[in-house]
Amino acid sequence: MEYVVIEFHLDGRSGVSPYMQLVQQVRRAVRLGMLTEGDRLPTVKEVVARLAINPNTVLKAYRELEHEGLAAAKPGVGTFITHRITDSSLAAHDALRGELRTWLDRATAAGLDAESVEALFVTTFREHTETRTEEPA
């Protein structure tokens, strides 16, 4: 079991901070079943030796994953996936998609073109996520 299961990569132009990119890649790998319960994440040294990034960036990403309950650190051994996403949120998708469609119809009726709709969504989404991350844990 002591082999590297996934390899991280970073996109310098994505606008997403490096630590969040690592978090997202683990979440995605878990969701896709590439990572399952008991898998060891690459060690901090392995990640920084590959990506040439600050070790604190990796530590911060792993802490975030622990906080989310997706992974747990075993001191001196490594950080392990503790969770299987049996995506229970999947059931909610249909209803949410319907509401989003209604909202898009209203936006078009109000005279917004595709670009304005996207800009409005992206800025609101960004504000929303930022307020959420600013709240104390």
Partner 1 sequence: MKPVLTTRGLTRRYGRRTALSDCTITVPSGKVVGLVGPNGAGKSTLLRIAAGALPPTAGEIEVLGGRPGSGPGQLAKVAFVAQDTPVYAGLTVGDHLRFGAKTNPRWDDAMARERLKSLGLKLDQRAGRLSGGQRAQLALTMAVAKRPELLILDEPVAALDPLARREFMQGLMAHIAEHEGSVILSSHVVSDLERVCDHLIVLVDSRVRADGEVEDLLAGHHRLTGPRRDTADLPGDVIAESHVGRQSTVILRGPAPEPDPAYEVEKLSLEDLVLAYMSSDARPALEMA
Q: With 0-12 CB in 10 A as exposed, 13-18 as middle and 19+ as buried, what is 131? A: exposed
Nearest to 5 by CA among 33, 77, 20: 33
Q: Which is nearer to partner 1, 53 or 73 (CB)?
A: 53
Instruction: State yes or no: residue 54 binds partner 1 (CB under 8 A).
Output: yes
Q: Which is nearer to partner 1, 30 or 47 (CB)?
A: 47
Instruction: State yes or no: residue 44 binds partner 1 (CB under 8 A).
Output: yes
- Rounded Cα gap, residues 47 and 37, in angstroms: 20
Instruction: State yes or no: residue 12 binds partner 1 (CB under 8 A).
Output: yes
- The site for partner 1 (CB under 8 A) is made up of 10, 12, 15, 17-18, 44-45, 48-58, 123, 127
